Amino acid sequence: MSKKVYIFLADGFEDIEGLTVVDLMRRAGITITTVSIKNTKQITTAHSITMLTDQTFAETDFTDADMLVLPGGQPGTTNLGAFAPLTDLLKNFYNNGGRIAAICAAPTIFAQIGLLHGKKATAYPSCMDGLGDAVRLEDNVVVDGNITTSRGLGTAIDFSLSLISQLLGQEKADQIAESVVYK
């Protein structure tokens, strides 16, 4: 049975952080759905690329989710963090044992909603103070229980491979890394 992942996109998300996750997960056979937090599927990335998501938040049922993912970028992270239906979903999903992941500035959203208390986490260097009382690490990817965080665009492949490993095992992550000539 395929794993189901939802990645949330807002205007101003970091292109590479969002789309690398989508690309590598799809190569791994994971069903990942891009979800706009707007009333339209049209999103404009941080670098002015206009794209369409698979669905809007309002039309999506997240009950089959295995993982929820947030890309960083600005103002994308600010837009995601200000969208209460998403922050409520993240809290409920995590509190019910679900896996959540964020990269770059987006881990600060987990801190804002109280999910990083005493947890190990990382973020984009200038966003580390936004991790609240998390144990701040500078690793490319930090996994603490069901929370995965990563540093930024340069760690997007490491982040994606970690998520694949968590869902399908290290062997599958290694296969995908080899298939894209990574390392």
Q: Which residues have a catalytic role annotated?
A: 104
- How far is CA 75 from each of CA 14, 18, 157, rounded to the nearest angstrom? 9, 14, 22
Contacts of 138 (CB under 8 A, 6+ apart): 122, 151
Helix H or strand E encompassing 120: strand 120-121
- What is the pairing mode between strands 120-121 and 147-150? unpaired
Is the four-CA dihedral 30, 124, 98, 9 of positive or negative sign? negative
User: Is 141 within 8 Å of 21 (Cβ atoms)?
Assistant: no
Q: What is the rounded distance in angstroms from the CA atom of residue 179 to the CA atom of residue 70?
A: 25
